[in-house]
Amino acid sequence: MTHWKRPARSLISWTRLRAPKAIRWNPPTCWATTSMAKNPNPPVVSGFLNLYKPVGITSMDALRQVKRITGQRQKVGHGGTMDPLARGVLPVCFGQATRLMDHVVGGVKRYRMDITLGTSTTTYDAEGEVVKTGDYEGLTEETVAEHLRPWVGVVQQTPPMYSAVKVDGQRLYKLARAGVEVEREARPVEIHSITIVKFGLPTLTVDVECGGGTYMRSLAHDLGESLGCGAHVSDLERQLCAGFTSDESATLEQLEEAVNGPDGWQQFLFPVDWVLRGLKSITLGKQAEEALRHGQAVTPDRPQLDAGYLEEYRAYNSDGVFLALVRYDRPSNAWQPVKVLQTESPSPYAPASV
């Protein structure tokens, strides 16, 4: 595992471990379907697809195309809504992986965003109508960085009117299209860092690393309001989502080409436990495995003194098959099941001793 230090120009100076590259995993041969046309009822698969969503379609549009290409119709979802303007990493969950979708939605995300100063729009991006213009001449990189700095940390952010947030049961974007603007409550979001990677006028490029629920369009709009000249997003790419990176993503075109290839589209699947690989793991015996599969707590042979209070672990059987996400309850000296999954194949992320 290598260390990665953020460039010194970042508004927040910190060092973190880079997520390890995915281990290439060969799914069971029973999953090697060819195309939906040849096999209209393919077996249900489980795993994650790291999809690179193109510009111009919604996350649901992309998901519909994935379903069409793979033939998978049941238990398929995506791990985070993206605007049509945005491109980049969109994790897709299949089968048992949908049980772990919250670990993707709430995971750390990284964006590269172009912000154009001098113009504010109704949608906070380049697709909306211009509602404000302002003078940006004379602005320096130092001035812009100073106005970005307050947005690093846990901050209150108001979602844009053109968003999927619901108010009184109605989507904001539907109200906006009808010409209705409503009061939106600010909500807490966490922005880990904002880095200016390229400065120019009227457009600058920034890298933003943040938690789930953060709106890049609101960040750009709020910067424009703070500077007094207005601003909007002119380009947006999600480069990281819960450990999935754009470097290891697959496009819809690659997915379609792989359907009739020797390895099938399943060559792009990540195992269901991939999103939990940062957690510690345990191996259970046959009797404990049976109990856990039935949702029962499991008592270890001895107290787990190194386990933190209610710390979550990955549980595997002696063959390396991922069984469940468990939590250690020290008072009762038991592994409590959090999410039990029905998987059958050994995982490359099982404990090395297996």
Q: What percentage of the chain exceeds 70 in pLDDT?
A: 88
Domain 279-340 has CATH 2.30.130.10: yes
Strand 231-241 relative to strand 109-117, pairing? antiparallel
The residue from 83, 125, 222, 273 that is catalytic is: 83
**CATH class belonging to 109-241:** alpha beta
3-state secondary structure of 56: coil
3-class DSSP state of 202: coil
3-state secondary structure of 180: coil
Across residues 187-206, what is the average pLDDT? Answer: 98
What pLDDT sits at residue 6? 36
Active site includes 83? yes
pLDDT of 288 over the 70 cut: yes
* pLDDT tens digits, one per residue of 111-169: 999 999 999 999 999 999 999 999 999 999 999 999 999 999 999 999 888 877 788 77
Mean pLDDT of the chain: 86
- pLDDT (tens digit per residue) in 68-87: 999 998 899 998 888 888 99
CA–CA separation, 15 vs 7, rounded Å? Answer: 10
133: β partners:
119
For tokens 């209070």, name the residue.
309
Rounded mean pLDDT, 264-291: 94
Whether 49 has a pLDDT exceeding 50, the answer reads yes
In this prediction, residue 17 carries a pLDDT of 31
**Tell me: the pLDDT tens digits for 198-232?**
999 999 999 999 999 899 999 999 999 999 999 99
Q: State pTM to two decimals.
A: 0.84
Provide the residue ranges of all domains of the chain, joining segments of one domain with +. Answer: 3-107+244-274, 109-241, 279-340
Q: Residue 175 contacts by C-beta under 8 Å, 6 or more apart in sequence? A: 161, 167, 181, 182
